[in-house]
Chain A
């Protein structure tokens, strides 16, 4: 059974605070084509505005024109986010500003069937798969704070500024509590597809 199928079968809330590294790539005027070519040469094609592409163990999303966020697990072995930013900075050949934003964002993953209902209690955009299928991404407001939402096959990735992360996590936990005790998973489990859903 695949990871998305296992998550879908678990009738509860899955949450995972994610110690993610985030690198922002902001194209300068006319720099989008250079960035697109460099991304494609690395096998990390830059998605269109409002979309997220999953390139395990990382994902790339775009919610602002000409800007992309590369989000991935913080891995000491793979080098620091600053080193990853440097790769893109060199590839951009002066056509983009590349910034390590790991300290600026806090990441959460929310899965399980109640995920949409939980988010609907604080979010004004329609997240139903009909309107917001897996692969979609948007920047909006949830629980009065800015949140970037990306729909992934196994749930929702939520990025909020570090300064509002504690409030957002408390809101998420308080809202999710109505749907039963959450099961905490590691992000590595979700990405690897080896999701061991706990018995309830």
Chain B
């Protein structure tokens, strides 16, 4: 069972969170072509090892968190809030 240390609520069970995908994806500029947007929407690396990802603490503080997680060992290296101020 994966447990994530939320910076606001403390360590909580994975069931309280919702996975929101790869946090390293960058939206292409407005003038980018179809292929670039297709890659932005659909293509993901699925790495073995360290990965930066978004997790939403849906049943806790409802904050979006950026988590560095090892996809093999589930080790968590860092958890930071996406927004440090109000954020709503």
Binding site for B on A (CB under 8 A): 26-31, 49-50, 63-66, 124-125, 138-141, 146
Contacts and interface: CB of A to CB of B under 8 A. Distances in A.
A29 B9 CA distance: 20
A95 to B, nearest CB: 10
In the A-B complex, the 3 residue pairs with the closest CB atoms: A29-B86, A124-B13, A141-B59
Contacts of A65: 8, 61, 63, 87
Task: Summarize B's interface: helix, strand, loop or mixed.
Answer: loop
A140 B85 CA distance: 22
Nearest to B85: A29
Contacts, number: 50
A66 B84 CA distance: 11
B86 A139 contact: no
Contacts of A50: 8-10
B61 A125 contact: no
B53 interface: no
Nearest to B8: A65
A141 B63 contact: no
B28 interface: no
Name, among A28, A66, A139, the residue most crowded by chain B CB atoms within 10 Å (CB to CB): A139
B60 A30 contact: no
A140 B86 contact: no
Interface string B2-17: 0000001110110110
Given A31-B86, A50-B10, 20 more contacts: A26-B88, A29-B85, A29-B87, A50-B9, A63-B9, A63-B60, A64-B8, A64-B61, A64-B62, A64-B63, A65-B87, A66-B86, A66-B87, A124-B12, A124-B15, A138-B60, A139-B9, A139-B60, A140-B60, A141-B16
B12 to A, nearest CB: 7
A104 to B, nearest CB: 14
Contacts of B60: 63, 138-140
Interface string B46-87: 000000000000011111000000000000000000000111
A146 B12 CA distance: 14
Contacts of B88: 26, 28, 66
A139 B13 contact: no
Contact of B16 (A26, A27, A28, A140): A140
